Amino acid sequence: MKKLLSVIGVCLVLISVAAFSWFNKEFPKYMTYECGSGDNKEIVVRESDDLIRNKTTGRNAYNMDFNRQGFDSVIVYMLWDSITGEGYMYKKDTKELEQMNPNQLCKYVSSKRHKE
Tens of pLDDT, residue by residue over 24-63, are: 666 667 888 998 878 878 888 898 888 998 888 888 888 8
pLDDT in tens, 56-115: 888 888 887 655 555 678 888 887 666 666 788 899 889 899 988 778 899 998 776 655
Section 10-16 average pLDDT: 89
Bridge partners (DSSP) of residue 97 are 90
Sheet with 60-64, edge to edge strand ranges:
103-105, 96-100, 87-91, 74-79, 60-64, 51-54, 42-46, 29-35, 107-113
Q: What is the pTM of this model?
A: 0.64
